[in-house]
Chain A
Amino acid sequence: MINASIKQLSAALAAKTISSVELTQLYLDRIAALNPALNAYITTDAETSLAQARAADGRIARAEASPLTGIPIAQKDIFCAKGWLTTCGSKMLHNFVSPYDAHVIARFNDAGAVNLGKTNMDEFAMGSSNETSHYGPVKNPWDQARVPGGSSGGSACAIAARLCAAATGTDTGGSIRQPAALCGISGLKPTYGVVSRYGMIAFASSLDQAGPMGRSAEDLALLLNAMAGFDERDSTSLQRDKEDYARDLAKPLNGLRIGLPKEFFAEGLSGDVAQAVEAAIAEYRKLGATVVEISLPNSKLSVPVYYVLAPAEASSNLSRFDGVRYGYRAPDYTDLADMYEKSRAQGFGAEVKRRIMIGTYVLSHGYYDAYYLQAQKIRRLIAQDFTEAFRQCDVIMGPTAPSTAFELGEKGDDPVQMYLSDIYTIAVNLAGLPGMSIPCGFGSNNMPVGLQIIGNYFGEARMLNAAHQYQLATDWHSRAPQL
Chain B
Amino acid sequence: MTWEIVIGLEVHAQLSTSSKIFCGASTAFGAEPNTQADAVSIALPGVLPVLNKGAVERAIRFGLAVGAHIAPRSVFARKNYFYPDLPKGYQISQFDLPVVGNGQVVIHVPASGKAEAYEKVVRLTRAHLEEDAGKSLHEDFHGMTGIDLNRAGTPLLEIVSEPDMRSADEAVAYAKALHTLVQWIGICDGNMQEGSFRCDVNVSVRRPGAPLGTRREIKNLNSFKFMQQAIDYEVQWQVDTLVNGGAIHQATVLFNPDTGETRSMRSKEEAHDYRYFPDPDLLPLDISEEWKEQIRATLPELPQAKQARYVNELGLSAYDASILTASREMAGFFETALHILLPSPQSSPASGRGSERENQSSISAKLCANWIMGEVNAQLNRDGLDMTQCPISAQQLGGILQRIADNTISNSGAKEVFRAMWVEGGEADAIIEAKGLKQVSDSGAIEALVDEIIAANADKVTEYRSGKDKLFGFFVGIAMKASKGKANPAQLNEVLKRKLAG
Contacts and interface: CB of A to CB of B under 8 A. Distances in A.
Partners in one complex: yes
A368 interface: yes
B137 to A, nearest CB: 14
Contacts of A240: none
Interface in B267-320: 273, 275-277, 280-283
Interface residues of B, number: 29
B87 A320 contact: yes
A93 B44 CA distance: 11
A363 B277 contact: yes
- The size class of the interface chain A forms with chain B is 35 or more
Contact of B281 (A96, A236, A325, A340): A236
Nearest to B37: A325
Contacts of B47: 198-199
B46 A235 contact: no
Contact of A235 (B44, B277, B282): B282
A323 to B, nearest CB: 10
A332 to B, nearest CB: 15
B82 interface: yes
A234 B277 contact: no
A369 to B, nearest CB: 11
Interface string A306-336: 0000001101101111101110000000001
A319 B90 contact: yes
B44 A197 contact: no
Contacts of B45: 80, 86, 88, 93, 96, 98, 201-202, 320-321
B50 A372 contact: no
Contact of A322 (B51, B89, B280): B89
A408 to B, nearest CB: 28
Contact of B44 (A80, A324, A336, A340): A80
Contacts of B362: none
B336 to A, nearest CB: 43
B44 A365 contact: no
Contact of B46 (A198, A316, A318, A340): A198
A205 interface: yes
Interface string A217-257: 00000000000000011111000000000000000000000
Contact of B48 (A206, A233, A319, A365): A233
- In this complex, the member of A93, A202, A318, A324 whose beta carbon has the largest number of chain B beta carbons within 10 angstroms is A324
Contacts of B283: 235-236
B81 to A, nearest CB: 9
A80 B46 contact: yes
Contacts of A202: 45-46, 281
Nearest to B136: A336
A234 B48 contact: yes
B39 A100 contact: yes
A99 B42 contact: no
Contacts of B49: 235
B82 A340 contact: yes
B280 A206 contact: yes
A364 interface: yes
B84 interface: yes
Contact of A319 (B46, B80, B84, B145): B80
A372 B77 CA distance: 14
A364 B82 contact: no
Contact of B43 (A198, A206, A325): A325
Contacts of B147: 324-325
Interface in B28-82: 39, 42-51, 78, 80, 82
Interface in A264-312: 312
Contacts of A80: 44-46
A403 interface: no
Contacts of B273: 364-365
Contacts of B282: 235
B3 to A, nearest CB: 33
Contacts of B39: 99-100
B88 interface: yes
Contacts of A322: 82, 84, 89
A324 B90 contact: no
Interface in A421-464: none
Contact of A200 (B46, B50, B277): B46
Interface string A163-199: 0000000000000000000000000000000000111
- Smallest CB-CB A-B distances: 6 pairs: A319-B89, A206-B280, A363-B275, A205-B280, A199-B46, A201-B45
21 contacts: A96-B45, A99-B39, A198-B47, A199-B46, A199-B47, A201-B45, A202-B46, A232-B50, A235-B49, A235-B283, A316-B89, A316-B275, A316-B277, A318-B89, A319-B89, A321-B45, A322-B84, A324-B84, A324-B87, A325-B147, A364-B275
Interface of B: 39, 42-51, 78, 80, 82, 84, 87-90, 145, 147, 273, 275-277, 280-283
